[in-house]
A and B are shown apart, each in its own frame.
Chain A
């Protein structure tokens, strides 16, 4: 007997117990539980990696911007671990720091991405990490693009006479709407979009299984659990 009067686990493993094991939770329930549990370690890792990732983002986006500028005048200057300035070298020194922004805000969706991809139940670690790596790569490209849109949004709409002189109405709307869409809906929904790209068939199959189990009646949960492992 165990401390709480329960039979020892070895007896259960050896098959000495007549009562069946309680049914395991469904696939979706385990996904939700695992994702919530993974949030904490993923958040800790993200927080530790953020200073390095911010600098990588700024240098990548700065490099991308310089490819399309003639002459290349934009510099993305890191300010501490979490902030940055958009700097224009062709402006007078007193006005060269044209816009501050919080770089860490660009990529906090990595938290959701990590938790959702690591929380998928019943998948070998190699496959789970492989899928997460592909999704993270897509997210890094997205983040670099978002920084580029933030800079172009500032140039096209926030610099008064300079914006009006150098950007037409179409360009101002393009960069403005593009920044709005990339910075809000797609940034927040990207983890779910990527997760669905990999795991929607599993979710649909789990839903079909749960529906079949509900239709079959009370004996079904154990059956469903066996199929969902």
Chain B
């Protein structure tokens, strides 16, 4: 009895949460062409997004793996991240000095390397924003604010990793690889969902 009641209380799958967007796939009013060939037509936007997203990810990460790009763009950028993190730690009274990408203090030292510079989260966010159907104006605004926000979170990450290594060294490994990586990527995903949900009406795809 109670089971049946619970089932009837469950809300249906929100194919069109808006009550609008009647043409959205899966919406009650949407027409579904029959046959296997129509799969592409029905899911064209989703499949295009996924393919573009994957291609942009592969392309951008292949690009940063080229030695010249790494030496002339990624390494200087990583040095900048290290300097900013060092400045933040000095503001917190840690008395650290910077040597290239190394932040060294009296209790601990961290070397900011690829993987700790926020570039991965930035590129994933960039790929998701560029692949999503929106106007170039919305994309550029989203990218500018999103990348800035990701770098702010990454700054907190590097500073907190230094503090973890200095004061709670047992937690450093888990914090370095699992916790902060997950937090930064989740933050990027949340930013993207927020951006996609705030697109202006009739924002037509630019691609």
Contact = CB atoms under 8 A, between A and B. Distances in A.
Centre residue among B14, B60, B61, B128 by max chain A CB count within 10 A: B14
Main secondary structure of the interface of B (DSSP, over half): helix
Nearest to B25: A201
Interface stretch (B71-79, B95-103, B149-157, B176-184): B176-184
B62 A177 contact: yes
Interface string B179-207: 00110011001101110111111110000
Interface in A1-50: 26-29, 31-32, 35-36, 39
Contact of B128 (A192, A201, A202): A192
Contact of A209 (B16, B115, B185): B16
A115 to B, nearest CB: 7
Lowest 8 A-B CB distances belong to which pairs?
A209-B18, A227-B19, A28-B197, A208-B21, A211-B201, A228-B17, A205-B24, A185-B61
Centre residue among A28, A180, A213 by max chain B CB count within 10 A: A28
A5 B11 CA distance: 32
B193 A210 contact: no
7 contacts: A177-B62, A185-B120, A205-B27, A206-B14, A208-B24, A224-B19, A227-B19
Given A35-B190, A197-B50, A202 B18 contact: no
Contacts of A116: 189
A72 B198 CA distance: 54
Given A177-B62, A200-B46, A228-B18, A207 B13 contact: no
B199 A207 contact: yes
Centre residue among A189, A193, A200, A226 by max chain B CB count within 10 A: A189
A35 to B, nearest CB: 7
A196 B189 CA distance: 11
A204 B43 CA distance: 13
A122 interface: yes
Given A180-B61, A188-B181, A205 B46 contact: no
A108 interface: yes
B165 to A, nearest CB: 17
A139 to B, nearest CB: 14
Nearest to B191: A32
A205 B182 CA distance: 27
A181 interface: yes
A181 B62 contact: yes
A214 B124 CA distance: 28
A78 interface: no
Contact of A201 (B26, B124, B201): B26
A112 interface: yes
B89 to A, nearest CB: 26
B186 A115 contact: yes
A214 B201 contact: yes
Contacts of A189: 53, 57, 124, 127-128, 185
A158 interface: no
B36 interface: no
B124 to A, nearest CB: 5
Given A115-B186, A196-B46, A229-B11, A201 B24 contact: yes
A193 B53 contact: yes
B148 interface: no
A44 B73 CA distance: 38
A122 B14 contact: yes
A111 interface: yes
Given A122-B17, A188-B121, 19 more contacts: A27-B14, A28-B193, A29-B197, A109-B185, A112-B189, A123-B14, A124-B13, A177-B62, A180-B65, A184-B120, A189-B128, A192-B124, A205-B20, A206-B18, A207-B198, A208-B20, A211-B200, A214-B201, A228-B18
